[in-house]
Structure 1
Amino acid sequence: MERRQQEAAMEAVLFAMGESVEIGKLAEVIEEDEDTARQIINEMKEKWEKEGRGVSIAEFEDSFQMCTRGDMYEYLIKVASTPRKYVLTDTLLETLSIIAYKQPVTKLDIERIRGVNCDHAVNRLIEFELVTELGRMDAPGRPLLFGTTEQFLRSFGVKSLEELPELNEMKLEEFKVEAEEEASLQLHL
C-alpha cells in the first residue's frame, strides 16, 4: 500500500468512526507497525494544520480521533443546534480533581479527602461522561472504583493523565483543610 493510500485509509477510518481509534487498529488497517502508523498520523496532523483545514487529529493516550478545530465553533453553530454545556461547580471540580489524580478511587476515598458526601458529584460527573466506573475493588463490600474518561482528556485538552499539572503537597493539605472547614460549617447550619 503506497503512502498516499495509507493516509487516505486512516483518514476514512477516523472520519467514519467518529470516536477515537487505537493506534494498533490503525496500524492493522494500513498493514504497518504502530511506529510507522504513528509517524504517518503525525505527518497528517502537521499537514492539515499547515493547510488550515477545518478538522484536526487529536491524540488521547494511544488513540487518535478526527475532530473539528476549536476555532471553527462559530461556523458550526450556524448550522447545528448549540451543544448542551455543562457547568462544573467548585464541588464537581474538586471531586473530578481527586478522581483524576487518585484513580482508580472509591467514593469512600473521595469522601475522606473532601470530608463530605460525594454521591451527587460523582453521579453528575458520570452523567457528563468525565468519569466512569472502572470495576470493583477486591475488598470487603467490593466498592466501585472510579476513573476519568477519554472525554475528560478531550475536555481538558490533554493527551494523557501524565500531562496533568503536578500536585503540590502543601496545596493538597490546604485543600483538605478547606474541605474539612466547609464540612464543619455545613454541620453547624
Structure 2
Amino acid sequence: MSESDQTVSDAVVSDAVTPDAAAAAPDAAAQDARPLSARLEAVLLAADRPVDTRSLAAAVAEPEPWVARALAGLQAEYDGPPERGFELRRVAGGWQLYVRAGYEDAVRRLVDERIPPRLSQAALETLAVIAYRQPISRGQISAIRAVNVDGVVRTLVARGLVEPAGVDEATQATLFRTTDLLLAELGVDSLDELPPISNLLPEDPEETDGERD
C-alpha cells in the first residue's frame, strides 16, 4: 500500500462512527424528530402548577417564539372541533391543563375522595375581601365582614391561598394578599379577570381598635 493510500485509509477509519456513537445517534435523532407539541403536552401533563413559556422552552430545548406558537396551536386544537374534555389555559403567568367546564362530574366521581375539603362560606367571603382589597389587615377584613376572621385567615394561609404581604406602617398589623395558587385554582391569569364587585365593598374600612400582630 502506498503512503497516499495509507493516508486515505487512516482518514476513513478516523471518520468512522464508533459503536458507542452509533448507539447514541438514533436517540438524538428520535429526540429531534419528536413533534414540539407532543413534547409540550408531556411537560404540561407532568406539571402540577402553571408553567411559564420560558420554563417550557427550557424543558423542550426550543426557542420561546416556537414554543409560544405551539402552545397557541394546542389551545386551538383542544377547543376543537371536536371539543376535548380538557383545555389549555394561561393562568397566573403560566400555562396549565384543566378539565373543561361541563366534564367535572365524571372526574369528580373518580377522585372525589381525594379532593381537599371545600372552603366554608366564611372562608370564601374572607378570601373575596382579600382579593378585592389587598393588601389588607385582619382588622380591616373584620371591619368589612363584622366578624372575627383570625381563624379563617389562618386557614387560608395554611391552604396556600393567602400570604403575608408586609405590615401596615400606621398600626404595624400584618397585611395579607392572595397568591398565584389562588389564580391557578380560579383558572385566571390575573385578578383583573375577576368579576367587578369591589364597588360593593367599603372604600376605606376602619381598623379595629388596638390591632397589633
The alignment's TM-score, normalised by the length of structure 2, stands at: 0.65
C-alpha distance in structure 2 between counterparts of 1:116 and 1:32, whole Å: 52
- Is 1:26 the equivalent of 2:62? no
C-alpha distance in structure 2 between counterparts of 1:159 and 1:79, whole Å: 28
C-alpha distance in structure 2 between counterparts of 1:78 and 1:146, whole Å: 35
C-alpha distance in structure 1 between counterparts of 2:135 and 2:202, whole Å: 21
Partner residue, 1:103: 134
Partner residue, 2:176: 146
Q: What is the DSSP-based 3-state SS (H/G/I as helix, E as strand, rest coil) of the residue aligned with 2:176?
A: strand
* Aligned-partner residue type, residue 147 of structure 1: R
Moved more, 14-23 or 109-118: 109-118
- Give 1:102 shift: 1.9
* Aligned-partner residue type, residue 155 of structure 2: R
* Aligned-partner residue type, residue 109 of structure 1: Q
CA contact (8 A) 1:105 1:146 kept: yes
- Superposed CA RMSD in Å reads 3.4
**1:113-149, Cα deviation, whole Å (9 max, x unpaired):** 33432102212323444x2214433747854332223
Residue 86 of structure 1 is aligned with which of 118, 131, 138?
118
Alpha carbons of 1:21 and 1:124: their partners in 2 closer, same or farther (altered >3 Å)? same
The alignment's TM-score, normalised by the length of structure 1, stands at: 0.71
C-alpha distance in structure 1 between counterparts of 2:95 and 2:140, whole Å: 32
Partner residue, 2:16: none
Alpha carbons of 1:156 and 1:132: their partners in 2 closer, same or farther (altered >3 Å)? same
Alpha carbons of 1:38 and 1:102: their partners in 2 closer, same or farther (altered >3 Å)? farther
Partner residue, 2:87: 56
Residue 167 of structure 2 is aligned with which of 112, 116, 137?
137
Q: Give unmatched runs, 5+ long, in structure 2.
A: 1-30, 206-213
C-alpha distance in structure 1 between counterparts of 2:32 and 2:99, whole Å: 27
CA contact (8 A) 2:165 2:177 kept: no
**1:146-176, Cα deviation, whole Å (9 max, x unpaired):** 222334224434331011122464x3249x7
Partner residue, 1:172: 201
Moved more, 77-86 or 46-55: 77-86
CA contact (8 A) 2:87 2:98 kept: yes
C-alpha distance in structure 1 between counterparts of 2:198 and 2:165, whole Å: 29
CA contact (8 A) 2:49 2:184 kept: no
- Give 1:45 shift: 1.2
Alpha carbons of 1:111 and 1:168: their partners in 2 closer, same or farther (altered >3 Å)? closer
Q: How many residues align?
A: 174
